[in-house]
């Protein structure tokens, strides 16, 4: 038996004033995206803004459904919008924020495993890292330089041995 260890590095900021201009703008756009959240069931709004290498920005928000599992997270709404409309685009960075009237959110809300898996595949497909910012409207921001830091053990086909 071998005991192995993985280290991840992430950045922590106290507020938008500590970010560079591009990241500040992306966080602000993720906040704007909250307004299109359709979340009558959870009453938990999630907004995402994704910056492409072309300079364009794509927004997403969570979209729920009375048949609960049919809804989709904000991150996947935005990522699949890019897949469908900008299939060759390179994603540079994405910002995610959340809001609810039911309680105060004190820390950045991080993405669910399903969204991380989808982000990981976009990153692998484009062969360039995607920066991810989790923005708490109260101020704190967490940033990673790559999805790899969030999901080092994503499901990838190169771990599946081909039978010949
Ligand atoms: N949600 C997201 O949009 N992103 C995540 O990463 C986790 C959760 C949404 C799904 C649902 O509409 C609401 O938040 C409550 O779970």
CA-63 nearest atom, ligand 1: 12
Q: How many CA atoms lie within 13 A of 36 on its CB side?
A: 15
Q: What is the pLDDT of residue 129?
A: 98
72 alpha carbon – ligand 1 mean position (Å): 7
13 alpha carbon – ligand 1 mean position (Å): 23
76 alpha carbon – ligand 1 mean position (Å): 10
Side-by-side strand order, sheet with 131-135: 11-13, 141-144, 131-135, 91-100, 44-52, 57-61
Spatial distance between the Cα atoms of 45 and 73, rounded to a whole number of angstroms: 10
Question: pLDDT for 4-18, tens place per residue?
Answer: 999 999 999 999 999
Q: What is the pLDDT of residue 8?
A: 94
Closest residue (by CA) to atom 14 of ligand 1? 44
Strands 91-100 and 131-135, by their bridges, are parallel
Q: What is the pLDDT of residue 163?
A: 72
Closest residue (by CA) to atom 4 of ligand 1? 73
The answer to whether residue 75 is catalytic is yes
User: How many C-beta atoms lie closer than 10 Å to residue 43's C-beta?
Assistant: 12
Active site residue: 11, 21, 56, 75, which one?
A: 75
Question: pLDDT for 74-97, tens place per residue?
Answer: 999 999 999 999 999 999 999 999
Spatial distance between the Cα atoms of 99 and 44, rounded to a whole number of angstroms: 6
Spatial distance between the Cα atoms of 157 and 67, rounded to a whole number of angstroms: 31
**pLDDT > 70? residue 159:** no
CA-71 nearest atom, ligand 1: 12
3 alpha carbon – ligand 1 mean position (Å): 34
Q: Which residues fall within 8 angstroms of residue 93, CB to CB, at 6 or more apart? A: 22, 23, 26, 50, 51, 130, 131, 132, 133
Mean pLDDT of 146-151: 97
pTM to 2 decimals?
A: 0.95
Q: What is the pLDDT of residue 71?
A: 98
Q: Is 131 helix (H, G, I), strand (E, B) or coil?
A: strand
Q: What is the pLDDT of residue 156?
A: 87
Q: What is the pLDDT of residue 157?
A: 81
- 72: which 2 tokens? 């989709």
Question: pLDDT for 25-70, tens place per residue?
Answer: 999 999 999 999 999 999 999 999 999 999 999 999 999 999 999 9
Spatial distance between the Cα atoms of 73 and 46, rounded to a whole number of angstroms: 8
User: How many C-beta atoms lie closer than 10 Å to residue 91's C-beta?
Assistant: 24
Question: pLDDT for 100-127, tens place per residue?
Answer: 999 999 999 999 999 999 999 999 999 9
Q: Domains of the chain, with CATH numbers?
A: 11-151 (3.40.140.10)
Query: Which residues surround ligand 1 with Cβ inside 6 Å?
Result: 39, 42, 44, 46, 62, 64, 71, 73-75, 111-112, 115
């Amino acid at each position: 038996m071998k005991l192995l260890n993985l280290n991840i590095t992430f950045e922590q900021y106290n507020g938008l004033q500590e970010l560079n201009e591009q990241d500040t703008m992306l966080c602000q756009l993720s906040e704007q995206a909250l307004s299109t959240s359709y979340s009558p069931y959870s009453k938990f709004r999630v907004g995402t803004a994704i910056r492409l290498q072309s300079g364009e920005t794509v927004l997403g928000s969570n979209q729920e459904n009375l048949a609960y599992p049919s809804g989709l997270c904000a991150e996947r709404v935005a990522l699949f919008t890019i897949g469908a409309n900008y299939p060759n685009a390179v994603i540079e960075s994405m910002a995610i924020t959340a809001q609810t009237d039911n309680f105060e959110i004190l820390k950045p809300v991080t993405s669910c495993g399903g969204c991380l898996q989808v982000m990981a595949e976009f990153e692998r497909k484009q062969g360039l890292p995607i920066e991810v910012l989790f923005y708490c409207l109260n101020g704190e921001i967490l940033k990673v330089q790559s999805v790899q830091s969030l999901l080092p053990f994503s499901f990838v086909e190169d771990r599946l041995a081909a039978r010949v």
